[in-house]
């Protein structure tokens, strides 16, 4: 019996050897080995993909390009020479996916940028060393050395109530400003010398609108408020730009001399000054007349429907000129809205380069009655246009620069909302042109609102006919034709 079992085992082994030597067995073996090789390649590719930058493996297909970084950000990141840490304060499982992908892109840009996640449930007091504010989930802290900046979640996702001003149904526009806030914070914490912006006072100047003040901080300008020329002999050397915002009374002769010396000595001056109600500003306006720019009394009215907004011909929508200040607005197809403006006329100047930034139509005129006007029609004593509403001036002596906007209300919150932020961009671009700081200013927030396709009633009816009638009938006819063709073949 034992011998018989051995014989059976030998015969079975012989059969297995014969089966393995067949073509089918060889093909199966090759397939098995090939499957192992492909599986190994896939595993290696996945491991390699994990090591690649997210910009290579994750493509930004979002409508607003939320994860795509601008050239300005790339310049700031690639020029870093010190380590920057971005602390992401977020609870486990409640991470904002958009912020996460954006932070991955920053970490890929430079070896000097490190993203560290801090769970407030694990580190409840971590953010207190950076801010006194109530810290919300998905907020950020950017730190380098002994400098830091806290970025609240509400600053990343901005809600603009401008739609309320426009009389809509109460919807609030939402935008994503992650890149602008983070890049600005990085630039701030690595900078050792921030531009100083002085705000002149003592002449009834208006307070800076909140959006303008916030944008100055976002662009890393340090503001010095309530600066007066009455107790100084000259404007301080650390003043990178002096701002005069909507004064209601004139400057003195001594202040005029000081400002003229400041500009001819290479200083930078931004003035927002329009028509006054019962007051005149001849000394302040002398700053313009010295460069061949004259100021026309009254309020500019433009009856050309293409040059004013809504139903008020004194709320002007001028033509935008060509300059480093206005080119970004033109490229973005934005419109600047200038309410209650004073007309400027640009003449010849041998001492400076004068550029018209905003221009009314040839139909415009200046109402001599000013605020007391009773009609928008042209009357005797009114001055014919066209007029310039904003100018930039570069003095040939030492490169001093002056930007003048002939309206007190350009930065008003309502009119800035009407212009979709273009009014503020014009002023910020003017500051950056004067000072030479351009990185963070040009990064606009990205709208998260849906863009709806609006079509006429006739187009909608034609689409219904096509989709409900023509297309289905066409497929039906194709089906009938196919059935008849097959029957003929039978």
Write down the pTM of the prediction.
0.73
pLDDT given for residue 449 in this prediction: 52
pLDDT given for residue 74 in this prediction: 86
Question: Is CATH 3.40.640.10 correct for 62-192?
Answer: no
Q: Report mean pLDDT in 10-residue bins for the chain, 490 residues.
A: 62 63 60 76 69 50 58 84 94 91 90 94 92 92 93 84 46 75 90 91 95 89 93 93 96 96 96 94 96 96 93 94 93 93 95 96 96 94 96 94 97 91 93 75 59 52 82 85 79
pLDDT given for residue 79 in this prediction: 87
pLDDT given for residue 170 in this prediction: 47
pLDDT given for residue 43 in this prediction: 77
pLDDT given for residue 323 in this prediction: 95
Candidate CATH numbers 3.40.50.880, 3.30.590.20, 3.40.50.970, 3.40.50.1700; the one for domain 194-447: 3.40.50.880
Structural domain boundaries in the chain: 2-51, 62-192, 194-447, 455-481
Q: What is the 3-state secondary structure (H, E, C) of the chain?
A: CHHHHHHHHHHHHHHHHHHHCCHHHHHHHHHHHHHHHHHHHHHHHHHHHHHCCHHHHCCCCCCCCCCCCCHHHHHHHHCCCCCEEEEEECCCCCCCHHHHHHHHHHHHHCCCEEEEEECCCCCCCHHHHCCCCCCCCCEEEEEECCEEEEECHHHHEEEECHHHHCCCCCCCEEEECHHHHHHHHHHHHHCCCCCEEEEECCCCCCCCCHHHHHHHHHCCCEEEEEECCCCCCCCCCCCCEEEEECCCCCCCHHHHHHHHHHHHCCCEEEEECCCCCCCCCHHHHHHHHCCCEEEECCEEECCCHHHECCCCCCEECCEECCCCCCHHHHHCCCCCCEECECEEEECCCCCEEEEEEEECCCCCEEECCHHHCCCCCCCCCCEECCCEEEEEEEECCCCCEEEEECECCCCCHHHHHHCCCHHHHHHHHHHHHHHCCCCCCCCCCEECCCCCCCCCHHHHHHHHHHHHHHHHHHHHHHHHHHHHHHHHHC
């Amino acid at each position: 019996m034992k011998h018989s079992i051995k014989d059976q085992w030998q015969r079975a082994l012989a059969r297995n050897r014969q089966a393995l030597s067949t073509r089918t067995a060889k093909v199966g073996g090759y397939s098995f080995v090939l499957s192992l090789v492909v599986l190994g390649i896939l595993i290696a590719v996945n491991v390699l993909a994990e090591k690649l930058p997210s910009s290579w493996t994750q493509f930004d297909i979002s409508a607003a390009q939320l994860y795509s970084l601008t050239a300005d950000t790339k310049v700031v990141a690639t020029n870093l020479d010190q380590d920057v840490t971005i602390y992401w304060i977020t609870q486990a499982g409640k991470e904002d996916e958009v912020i996460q992908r954006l932070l991955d892109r920053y970490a890929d840009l430079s070896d000097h940028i490190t993203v560290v996640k801090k769970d407030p449930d694990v580190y409840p007091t971590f953010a207190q060393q950076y801010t006194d504010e109530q810290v919300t989930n998905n907020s950020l802290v950017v730190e380098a050395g002994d400098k830091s900046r806290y970025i609240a979640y509400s600053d990343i996702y901005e809600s603009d109530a401008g739609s309320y001003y426009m009389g809509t149904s109460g919807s609030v526009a939402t935008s994503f400003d992650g890149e602008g806030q983070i890049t600005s914070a990085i630039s701030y914490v690595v900078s050792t010398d921030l531009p100083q912006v002085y705000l002149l006072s003592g002449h009834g100047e208006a307070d800076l609108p909140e959006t303008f003040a916030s944008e100055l901080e976002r662009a890393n300008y340090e503001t010095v408020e309530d600066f007066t020329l009455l107790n100084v002999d000259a404007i301080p050397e650390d003043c990178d730009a002096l701002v005069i915002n909507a004064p209601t009374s004139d400057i003195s002769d001594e202040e005029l001399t000081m400002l003229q010396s400041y500009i001819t000595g290479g200083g930078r001056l931004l003035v927002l000054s329009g028509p006054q109600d019962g007051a005149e500003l001849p000394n302040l306006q002398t700053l313009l007349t010295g460069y061949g720019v004259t100021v026309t009394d009254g309020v500019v009215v433009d009856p050309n429907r293409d040059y004013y907004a809504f139903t008020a011909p004194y709320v002007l929508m001028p033509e935008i000129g060509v300059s480093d200040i206005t080119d970004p607005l033109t490229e973005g197809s934005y419109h600047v809205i200038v309410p209650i403006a004073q007309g400027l006329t640009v003449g010849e100047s041998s001492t400076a380069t004068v550029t018209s930034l905003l221009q009314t139509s040839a139909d415009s005129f200046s109402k001599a009655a000013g605020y007391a006007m009773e009609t928008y029609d042209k009357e005797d004593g009114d001055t014919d246009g066209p007029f310039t509403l904003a100018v930039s001036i570069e003095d040939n002596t030492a490169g001093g620069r002056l930007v003048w906007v002939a309206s007190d209300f350009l930065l008003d919150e309502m009119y800035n909302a009407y212009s979709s932020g273009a009014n503020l961009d014009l002023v910020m671009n003017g500051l950056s042109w004067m000072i030479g700081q351009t990185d963070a200013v040009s990064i606009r927030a990205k709208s998260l609102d849906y863009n709806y396709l609006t079509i006429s009633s006739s187009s909608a009816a034609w689409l219904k006919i096509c989709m409900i009638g023509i297309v289905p009938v066409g497929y039906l006819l194709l089906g009938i034709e196919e059935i008849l063709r097959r029957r003929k073949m039978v």
